[in-house]
Chains A and B, each alone.
Chain A
Amino acid sequence: MSTNGLIGKSVKRVEDKRFITGKGNYTDDIILPQQTYACFVRSIYAHARIISVDVSEAKGMPGVVAVFTGADLAEINGVPCGWQVNFKNGDTMKEPKHPLLVADKTRHVGDAIVVVIAETREQATDAAEAVNVEYEELPCVTDAFKAVQPGAPLVHDDVANNICFDWTLGNPIGEVNDAMSKAAHITSLEYVNQRMVPNAIEPRSYNSSYDAATEKYTLYTSSQNPHLIRLLMCAFVLGIPEHKVRVVSPDVGGGFGSKIFHYTEEALLTWCTKKIGRPVKWTAERSESFVTDAHGRDHVTHAEMGFDSAGKILALRIKTYANLGGYLSTFGSCVPTYLHGTLLQGLYTTPKINIDLTAVFTHTTPVDAYRGAGRPEATYLLERLIDLAALEMNMDPAELRFKNFIPPFDGVNQPGYQTQVALQYDSGNYEGVLQKGLEMLNYADVRKAQKEAANNGKLIGVGFSTYVEACGIAPSAVVGALGCRAGLFEVGQVRVQPTGKVSVFTGAHSHGQGHETTFAQVVADKLGIGLDDVEIIHGDSDSVAFGMGTYGSRSLAVGGSAIVKSIEKIIEKGKKIAAHKLEAGADDIEFASGRFTVKGTDKSIGFGEIALTAYVPHVYPKDLEPGLDFSSFYDPANFTYPFGCHIAVVEVDKETGKVTLKRFIAVDDVGNVINPMIVEGQIHGGVVQGIGQALFEGAEYDEQGQLTNASYMDYCMPRADDFPMFETGRQVTPCPHNPLGVKGAGEAGTIGSAPAIVNAVIDALWSGGHKVKDIRMPLTPERVWKAMTTS
């Protein structure tokens, strides 16, 4: 197919101008005629029975338009879960109602009890203050392991032991135990992969309105997937007809997973707007975001990796308790299972693997996908174990990896790699990324410097992390068989206008990823036209036919492929029109660099003229419809499997335990790259979120179930002065099963980075004789100092 060189070029982003001049359009920027504002009364207790709710005073406050409680919504469904996981015995998971407003019992701090709607934000806030809720506080449990113990307080009365489901994957446990019993060395770790707060800088915001004349709703929502929200809200919660609902996600200020889910407030505001006949807007305050945006991670894990005497991995055995929070969030059930358990092969030839997982309700904010979603947890598990095993067996951690890597396979000449945990990797060259990382690091020099430092009483550490992940989510039939209640295809429509300009409608959604540039590059390249001649339209269910949205690093691999399919249809039709005009057979027409040419001649016609002819069909093939506008659905053949190698060099201050990141190297293979600048930016941002988990961040609940660091004064966000400049490298192993050969880059940075940091700190401590196995993330100076001084 034709190319004008735009694919592969670091084109500057076309969307930037509106953002750098203050002309972005985020949901909270929108004020509708007759606008009202909502404020929520939320539970101050993690677990409490609601004795009474008195809204009489609030209703009489200035500017108050309406007040609704859980009692008003008794007949309304809760928000659904999108993925069904079954118990080991085949029973379906426990799916208690997640109501829009709670009427009986609160199940986490921040659970919404009352919504107050008023003329202004301030009036709504004042009136919410006047609502009187009488509670009976009940005992609570926030830790997944403690929640399954006998006698633990129940989150839902009908969910025994708080277990939503138990689940296993991999080889039969007997086989794994046998293999483990033959191991010359077993490395084991008990650790916590702590709970993270996603913290998109734009707080969640919704503005819902209803037009009684047309009986049509419009919901503006800071969502990563407007069509999915429409589907879930219409079909499962409110029972309103989908064609009478328009959902728009305008500019969205970061998502990182937390804006995938269908939140109670979206449906509630949509219910309210019809009741009051006016638009209702709500934007979370940051303190509300902390306790109501779905959190990420939160696993308690015991993992063992068995090796033979030469260092070959024989077996991997895992027991994990995954915290789901107070309710099942939209994809809460699939994150610890099919996005985590399925990645436990890693890049290694481990022949026997078994994971046993218990998914648990607790009195905490619901947990769901956060950048990486399950794959960071899997990578952390594997990469901490293998680095620690190297220390324990006195082997080099890079050498130990080389010994165990799956050999290179391109998925074309060599088949994909079938794992022990259900997936088939598409293509990979794992040695390549580690080799490149070692070269960038100057490994021998760094080890030498580490030794010298140790002799001078300084602690330098080198930590590795090699990862493989699954993205380009996902083949519908495969995920359907695993319990997903949706298809995970994508839609791409390419509309060539009569003048040859092109409007592209995609079901993917950009909230920072730069689709308006990358997708335009693909289209302009394939059609041989200028970047300025293409516009990418996304985020509006009334203009984009359908879509599944953006998550799981799927936009280009799935959404981009749908666009390419439509481009192919455009070119095919263009050839027929050109053949007619040039008096040749359609098979004799070739398309390159924006021109249709009769093969072997200099007879040709430009793309623009074909576009015009399609809409002014005076001289036109008899049986061909006018117009040049095609839509395609693309359902991927497989997941895509990016991989890479991250290396951290740290210095640990012996006196204070403070970790200073000296270098960070990221070599990522995300398949073919459309815009290297954008891909690198994705890696940088992802890496910082992973390092954030390793060194700074983490939700901290106290015994009463209060999130004690629910503000930016208390939750340690990564800042500009915490980091050096990053060193990035790239290897390209194309994806063999999608037309662009791309794999996805949105989450790779986060998936790879956290274990590299922790491994580096552990390595630094061992270099000083402190044989510490684990330090709980985040590695604060206090924790590192304690680990050092007690070992």
Chain B
Amino acid sequence: MSIRINITVNGVKYNHLVEPRLLLVTYLRDVLRLTGTHVGCDTSSCGACTIHVNGKATKSCTLLAVQADGCEVTTIEGLMLNGELHPLQEGFKECHGLQCGFCTPGMIMTAADLLQHNANPTEEEIRHALEGNFCRCTGYHNIVKSVQFAANKMKTQVAVSGGQ
């Protein structure tokens, strides 16, 4: 038995028949072929599959596709705005916040959620927010710096647009 879902991903509306047991992450990867969202574990621990569902960071391996029916989903592929890198994407490049790149999309999506709620996080708050995302390459040092870079950049952007 399949179930019909309506879902908006990165601003595009989709309508698909899916198996009830299909994970949202598998739907994104295998059906929509948005392979930037990764699977690193089977216990919702590693965070490589983190996306935004209705604006909130969510581990997409822990949600069924049918549960996302009617939802707005953003994946790493949808983070760029008008062809410009998101400040976090820029931060990760500027501060060498990635090596193999496998955890990076999830890491960026989690950090994006943090910066939506806390524009000025301390180092401790950044580390705490990223605690559910594993990185085996960077030792987290440069990831923290990347998020700090983005926070500063976003503050500057707000200040500039506020002044206009």
A interface, CB within 8 angstroms of B: 12-13, 15-26, 28-29, 31, 121-122, 199-203, 251-254, 256, 283, 285-287, 511-514, 677-678, 680-682, 684-689, 711-713, 717-721, 723, 725-726, 749
Residues on B with beta carbons closer than 8 Å to the beta carbon of A20: 76, 85, 89, 92-93, 98, 101, 104-105, 108
Contacts of A201 in B (CB 8 A): 38, 40, 46, 48, 100, 102-103, 134-136
Closest to B126 in A: A720
* 4 closest residue pairs by CB, A with B: A22-B36, A253-B102, A19-B101, A512-B100
Q: Which residues of A contact B56 (CB under 8 A)?
A: none
Within 8 A of A (CB), among B84-119: 85, 89, 92-94, 96, 98-105, 108
With a CB–CB cut-off of 8 A, which chain B residues contact A720?
126-128, 130-131, 133, 135, 140, 143-144
Q: Which of B43, B45, B105 contacts A22 (CB 8 A)?
A: B105
Choose, from B1-9, B27-35, B65-73, B153-161, the stretch at the interface: B27-35
Q: Which residues of A contact B142 (CB under 8 A)?
A: 681, 684
- Asked if A252 contacts B100 (CB within 8 A), the reply is yes
Contact of A726 among B26, B108, B139 (CB under 8 A): B139
Whether B75 is near chain A, meaning CB under 8 Å from some CB there, is yes
Give which listed residue, A19, A286, A677, A721, contacts B131 with CB less than 8 A: A721
- Closest-by-CB residue of B relative to A690 is B139
Asked if B17 lies at the interface with its beta carbon under 8 angstroms from chain A, I say no
A253 touches B42 (CB 8 A): no
Interface hub of B29, B127, B131 (most chain A Cβ within 10 A): B127
Complex: A719 Cα to B34 Cα, angstroms: 27
B residues apposed to A, CB below 8 Å: 19, 21-22, 26, 29-30, 33-43, 45-46, 48, 75-77, 79-80, 85, 89, 92-94, 96, 98-105, 108, 123-124, 126-128, 130-131, 133-144
Q: Is the CB of A24 within 8 A of B45?
A: no
Give the residue of B29, B46, B92, B137 whose beta carbon is less than 8 angstroms from that of A29: B29
Given contacts A253-B102, A712-B134, A720-B126, 12 further A-B contacts (CB under 8 A): A13-B96, A16-B93, A122-B22, A200-B136, A253-B100, A254-B99, A254-B102, A513-B99, A717-B134, A720-B130, A721-B128, A749-B139
- Measured between beta carbons, the chain B residues less than 8 angstroms from A13 are 93, 96
Cross-chain contact B38 with A26 (CB below 8 angstroms): yes
Tell which of A28, A712, A713 has the most Cβ of chain B within 10 Å.
A712
Chain A, residue nearest B108 (CB) = A20
Residue in B closest to A725 when the chains form the complex, CB atoms: B141
Total A-B Cβ pairs within 8 A:
184
CB atoms of A22 and B136 under 8 A apart: no
Q: Classify the interface of chain B: helix, strand, loop or mixed.
A: loop
In whole Å, how far is A677's beta carbon from the nearest beta carbon of chain B? 5
Q: In the complex, are the beta carbons of A21 and B140 less than 8 A apart? A: no
Residue of B nearest to A22 (CB): B36
When the two chains form their complex, are residues A286 and B139 in contact, meaning their CB atoms are under 8 A apart?
A: no
Q: Judging by beta carbons under 8 Å apart, are A512 and B101 in contact?
A: yes
Q: Is the CB of B144 within 8 A of A725?
A: yes
Set of chain A residues within 8 Å of B101, measured between Cβ atoms: 15-16, 18-20, 24, 251, 253, 512
B103 near A725 with CB under 8 A, answer: no
Closest residue of B by beta carbon distance from A517: B96
Say yes or no: B42 contacts A202, CB within 8 Å.
no
B40→A202 contact, CB < 8 A: yes
Residue of B102, B124, B140, B142 most packed against chain A (CB within 10 A)? B102
What are 18 A-to-B residue pairs whose CB atoms are below 8 Å? A16-B92, A22-B75, A28-B35, A200-B100, A200-B136, A201-B38, A201-B100, A201-B103, A202-B40, A202-B100, A286-B46, A681-B99, A687-B139, A689-B136, A711-B43, A717-B46, A720-B135, A723-B140
Contact yes or no, A712 B36, CB < 8 A: no
In the complex, the answer to whether B105 meets A719 with C-beta atoms within 8 Å is: no
Q: Are A723 and B141 in contact (CB under 8 A)?
A: yes
In contact, A711 and B29 (Cβ under 8 angstroms): no
Q: Which of A19, A25, A684 has the most CB of B within 10 A?
A: A19
Q: Which of these, A26, A283, A686, A712, contacts B46 with CB under 8 Å?
A: A712
Chain B: CB-nearest residue to A203: B40
Nearest A residue to B146, CB-CB: A20
Within the complex, the shortest CB–CB distance from B39 to chain A, in Å, comes to 7
Closest residue to B128 on the A side, CB-wise? A721
**Contacting residues, chain B, for A689 (C-beta < 8 A):** 136
CB nearest neighbor in A for B94: A12
- Check B104 against A19 for contact (C-beta < 8 Å): yes
- Separation in Å of the B18 CB from the closest CB of chain A? 11
Chain A minimum-CB-distance residue to B92: A20
Are A21 and B139 in touch, CB under 8 angstroms?
A: no
**B48 — which chain A residues lie within 8 A by C-beta?**
201
CB pair A681 B102 closer than 8 Å: no
Closest residue of chain A to B76 (Cβ to Cβ) is A22
Verify A12–B93 contact, CB threshold 8 A: yes
Q: Which residue of A lies closest to B132 (CB)?
A: A719
Given contacts A21-B89, A29-B35, A201-B46, contact A16 B98 (CB under 8 A): yes
B92 A286 Cβ-Cβ under 8 A: no
Query: Is there an interface contact between B100 and A511, defined as CB atoms closer than 8 Å?
Result: yes
Q: Looking across the interface, which residue of chain A has its beta carbon closest to that of B75?
A: A22
The distance in angstroms between the C-alpha atoms of A201 and B79, with both chains bound, is 22
Most chain A beta carbons < 10 A, residue from B79, B103, B135: B135
Q: In the complex, which of the residues A21, A253, A286 contacts B38, with contact meaning CB atoms closer than 8 Å?
A: A253
Residues of chain A within 8 A (CB-CB) of B94 are 12
Query: Using Cβ atoms and an 8 Å threshold, which residues of chain B touch A25?
Result: 35
Contacts of B41 in A (CB 8 A): 286, 711-712
Contact check, B30 vs A31: say whether CB atoms are below 8 A apart. Answer: yes
A677: chain B residues at CB < 8 Å are: 96
Chain B residue, CB-CB nearest to A688: B139
Q: Which residue of B lies closest to A256 (CB)?
A: B136
| B36-A685 in contact (CB<8A) | no
> Given A711-B43, A712-B46, does the pair A202, B99 have CB atoms closer than 8 Å?
no
B16 → chain A closest CB, angstroms: 15
Give A414 to B140 CA distance when docked, in angstroms. Answer: 40
The distance from the CB of B32 to the nearest CB of chain A, in whole angstroms, is 12
Q: In the complex, A284→B128 CA distance in Å?
A: 29
CB distance from A533 to the nearest CB of B (A): 20
A721 B134 Cβ-Cβ under 8 A = no
| B19: chain A residues within 8 A (beta carbon) | 122
Q: Is the CB of A254 within 8 A of B75?
A: no
Q: How far is the CA of A25 from the CA of B29 in the complex (A)?
A: 12
Chain B positions within 8 Å of A122 at CB level: 19, 21-22
Which of the residues B79, B126, B133, B137 comes within 8 Å of A685, measured between beta carbons?
Answer: B137
Q: How far is the CB of A11 from chain B (nearest CB, A)?
A: 10
User: Within 8 Å CB of A719, what residues of B?
Assistant: 130-131, 134, 140
Among B21, B39, B101, the most chain A Cβ lie within 10 Å of the Cβ of B101
B143, closest chain A residue (CB): A720
- Once the chains bind, are A512 and B36 in contact (CB under 8 Å)? no
A202 to B40, CA, bound (A): 6
CA–CA, A717 and B89, complex, Å: 25
Contact, CB under 8 Å: A22 / B143 = no
B101, closest chain A residue (CB) = A19
* Interchain CA distance A479-B136 in the complex, whole Å: 30
Residues from chain A with Cβ under 8 Å of B108 in the complex: 20
CB-CB nearest in chain B for A252: B100
Known pairs A12-B93, A201-B102, A721-B131; A22 contacts B140 (CB<8 A): no
- B139 and A684 contact, CB distance less than 8 A: yes
Residues of the A chain whose Cβ atoms lie less than 8 Å from the Cβ of B21: 122
Q: Contacts A684-B138, A720-B140 hold; do A21 and B96 have CB atoms under 8 A apart?
A: no
Residue of A with least CB distance to B34: A22
Does A681 contact B38, Cβ atoms closer than 8 Å? no
List, in ascending order, chain B residues with CB within 8 A of A681's CB: 96, 99, 137-138, 142
What is the bound-complex CA distance between A22 and B50, given in angstroms? 12
Interface contact B46-A202, CB-CB below 8 Å: no
Complex: how many Å from CA A680 to CA B19?
46
Given A687-B139, A719-B131: A21 and B77 interface contact (C-beta under 8 Å): yes
Q: Shortest distance in angstroms between B59's beta carbon and chain A's nearest beta carbon? A: 12
Closest to B45 in A: A712
CA distance A494 to B27 in the complex (A): 42
Contact partners of B30 in chain A: CB under 8 A: 31
Report the bound CA distance from A287 to B72 in whole Å.
31
